[in-house]
Amino acid sequence: MKSIEKMMRKMEPKHDGKWAKFHPVWDGFYTFLFTPGETTNKGAHIRDGIDLKRTMFMVVTALIPCLLFGIYNTGHWHYVATGETTEYMDMFGDKVIYGLIKVLPIVIVSYAVGLGIEFLFCIKNQHAIQEGFLVTGMLIPLVIPADTPLWMVAVATIFAVVLGKEVFGGTGMNIVNVALTARAFLFFGYPTMMSGDKVWMSGIADVPRETLEANGVTGATQLGELATFTGAEADWAYPSIQAFSEHWSIMDSFFGMIPGSVGETSTLAILLGAALLLYTGIASWRIMFSFVAGGLFVGFLANAFAVNEYMMLDPLHHMVIGGFAFGAVFMITDPVTASQTNTGKFIYGFLGGALSITIRVFNGAYPEGVMMAILFANVMAPLIDHYVVGANIKRRVKRLKTKAA
């Protein structure tokens, strides 16, 4: 490592040389590989020795279980659709290879395009590389279907980085989650590629309908099938919500034996990442807890006033299907776009979770809900903090007046 560090030091562009404008790029690579050579050894605000790059790297590490499981799950549902296997552990190697072929190019394109945009902006503005995309570059592939065309991934990444972050001033200044901005761009810009029954199982578009029917595969996710329970004249996939719950059990959903976006299917893998983020103190337990509480509240409320089969679904089942668990751990907790006050975090998280299930249950045309709920909560976060701080000031003024009297 010493030799690599020496080589990097020799390559450092001189501030007064012709390559000076590329110094931020060199600095980004150097500080990614090594801790900065300059240290602060006094002052009132020194907290610990970790820097932002290593914080972001820890979040990426927390996402690894979701990525690995998503790779395997992509291959599994492809071979289920083609009728080559129905057992989850059959053809393990083939499934992993297929998943790698589908998922890794998306990850590579996401990072290559996103970091390329970051490099261009840091060279233009002569500021240090902003580390936020280390996480965003992994989140984008995990929240989209495995068959998303690579050019669409590139366009969505450019849109999210430029209009979702850089126009606001870069990392730490964006008002909405950058990865969800890319997901929203794809959903509204290319709806046929982000919804329906042909996008959630890789390669299903090339499989004849007769083959799919023979294999008992519809291609729809659980949420897509649940949406059929909201209308009186709907062509229901199941005769009742009990039949649905028997076919897609809570445990199957918890372990991830369901189709969906690459990284959102396994609640178990998501919880492994959550444990790391909570242990290291990177993510807020207040936001996670209140997000789940908000979802459960609306779920139990829907059960109590059920007017259709969908509203009868077990609230715990809502927690382990779609993007709810992934949103609770990796999206709503984004420290840049979340509320900053402790009380505000509870309100912010509860709002996001409650809206997620509300949109799911009452909007048959949009059966997920988590993406829009979190983006709405992002926009509301500053207002929530404003009123929390205002209420705190009023309490303190009242307390002072009481003491003075």
As a whole number of angstroms, the distance between CA 131 and CA 115 comes to 9
pLDDT number for residue 248 = 85
Are 256 and 265 within 8 A, CB to CB? yes
Structure tokens at 314: 């077990």
pLDDT number for residue 17 = 61
Q: What pTM was estimated for this model as a whole? A: 0.85
pLDDT number for residue 67 = 96
Work out whether the CA dihedral 398, 401, 403, 405 comes out positive or negative: negative
Are 377 and 176 within 8 A, CB to CB? no
pLDDT number for residue 156 = 96
**Where do the structural domains in the chain lie, given as residue ranges?**
19-33+52-194, 224-389
Structure tokens at 188: 């509204």
As a whole number of angstroms, the distance between CA 254 and CA 37 comes to 45
Those residues with Cβ within 8 angstroms of residue 121's Cβ, 6 or more apart along the chain or in another chain: 166, 170
H-helix segments, 305-341: 315-319, 324-326
CB atoms within 10 A of CB 85: 16
pLDDT number for residue 41 = 53
Q: What is the pLDDT along the chain (405 residues), one digit of tens a residue?
A: 556 666 666 666 665 565 555 555 555 555 555 555 555 555 444 444 455 666 788 999 999 999 999 999 999 998 888 888 888 888 999 999 999 999 999 999 999 999 888 888 877 776 666 667 889 999 999 999 999 999 999 999 999 999 888 888 777 788 999 999 999 999 999 988 887 777 888 888 777 777 766 666 766 778 877 776 654 444 556 677 888 888 888 999 999 988 889 999 999 999 999 999 999 999 999 999 999 999 999 999 999 998 877 888 899 999 999 999 999 999 999 988 999 999 999 999 999 999 999 998 887 677 788 999 999 999 999 999 999 999 999 998 888 877 776
pLDDT number for residue 403 = 74
DSSP class of 328: I
R_g of the chain, CA atoms, integer Å: 23
pLDDT number for residue 46 = 45
Q: Which among 249, 206, 268 is positioned nearest to 78, based on CA atoms? A: 206
Those residues with Cβ within 8 angstroms of residue 262's Cβ, 6 or more apart along the chain or in another chain: 66, 67, 70, 71, 73, 74, 103, 106, 141, 142, 143, 144, 145, 146
pLDDT number for residue 225 = 77
Q: How far is CA 5 from CA 12, 293, 320, 343, in A?
A: 11, 48, 45, 45
